[in-house]
Amino acid sequence: MVKIILEIKKLKIKFFLVGIAHLFTPRWELLTRPEVWLEAGTQVFFSLGLAFGGLIAFSSYNPANNNCFRDAILVSFTNCGTSM
């Protein structure tokens, strides 16, 4: 119920659509700046590092003949792909 109320309230904000358009409009010229790539790399390493403890905890439930290499690659690419 609270979610519905917040969604209705959000639609009443004056510049809601302008903000949404700004959020989803890419500025391609920023990709030439090295700071952008540094921040993106930092984000990827930070997000992969946070998941490391959870991966160790979940790995204890894997069967002995599990393909851990495949799982590590899958988790890494899924994490990096969803970070874009």
Mean pLDDT of each 10-residue bin along the chain, 84 residues long: 83 82 89 91 78 71 84 81 70
Half-sphere exposure of 68 (CA within 13 A, CB side): 10
Q: Do 45 and 80 meet the contact criterion of CB atoms below 8 Å apart?
A: no
The distance in angstroms from the start CA to the end CA of the chain is 31
Its pTM surpasses 0.75: no
State the Cα torsion 21-22-26-31 to the nearest 10°: 180
Q: What is the pLDDT of residue 51?
A: 61
Let me know the angle formed at the C-alpha of 30 by 29 and 32, rounded to the nearest 5 degrees: 80
Maximum pairwise Cα distance, the chain: 57
Q: What is the pLDDT of residue 33?
A: 94
> Domain limits of the chain?
2-83
